[in-house]
Amino acid sequence: MKILVCISHVPDTTSKINFTDGDTKFDTNGVQFVINPNDEFGLTRAMWFKEKQGASVDVVNVGGPETEPTLRKALAIGADSAIRINTEATDGFYVAKQLAKVVQDGGYDLIIAGRESIDYNGGMVPGMIAGLINANFVNTCIGLEIEGDTATAIREIDGGKETSTASLPLVIGGQKGLVEESDLRIPNMRGIMMARKKPLTVLEPVESGKETTTVKFEKPLPKGEVTLVSADEVGKLVELLHNEAKAI
């Protein structure tokens, strides 16, 4: 079984976010980048298939040379090879078309992507890949088993879970639950050294128009000041809720 794991290169959630050029571009200065958490859950599950069923695991990213350390980390975790598509990842449909071409050329059986990236939170790419390659698709996937050419997937739905079966090739949009946080792997020294020798192929993008353009970014409004009220001043609390907060 050939598995392709789609990896997004995203800012660490602890990074301080700023914008430049009139709030039209993200400022990367001083920002630490990591593997998108939803993708990391998927990569860890792919490693399970590699170790238990002998699957091969490739990782792919759409981005410039600055994303290669993130791909190298994925290789250090245990992926066999990496592919970088040499173009900026700005539009969901554009990214999906680049990834779909890699899938078609590589003949992959299982394509694992995160249900969304934590930077743009578009949630579009996995479903678009499935549509472009005419493959089955399971989103918000929190469980996956494969026997032969049949996959059994569990996905999160409102108020519960849904179990379904599908034939390969299959695209999933994974998230926490596909594996648990305690299952995530930290590259060890041996893995880091081996990653340096594993192939990282750079491909030029296929021609495709971009469907959307970023007009402007805006930060959330800063939180207001907090007023502390003593537990024995119920009257004051009611007054504040009524006159200032307008909550009652």
- Tell the residue number behind the tokens 């998927």, with chain if given: 42
Q: What dihedral angle (degrees, nearest 10) is formed by the CA atoms of 215, 220, 221, 223?
A: -170
Q: What does pTM read for this prediction?
A: 0.87
Cis, peptide link before residue 169, omega less than 30° from 0: yes
Contacts of 60 (CB under 8 A, 6+ apart): 4, 5, 6, 7, 82, 83, 84, 85, 99, 102
Q: What is the mean pLDDT of the chain?
A: 92
- Would you say 143 and 177 are in contact if contact means Cβ atoms under 8 Å apart? yes
Looking at residue 243, its amino acid is N
Looking at residue 93, its amino acid is F
- Would you say 51 and 171 are in contact if contact means Cβ atoms under 8 Å apart? no
Domains of the chain: 2-218 (3.40.50.620)
- Whether 200 shows a pLDDT value over 90: the answer reads yes
pLDDT in tens, 205-215: 998 877 888 88
pLDDT in tens, 39-76: 999 999 999 999 999 999 999 999 999 999 999 999 99
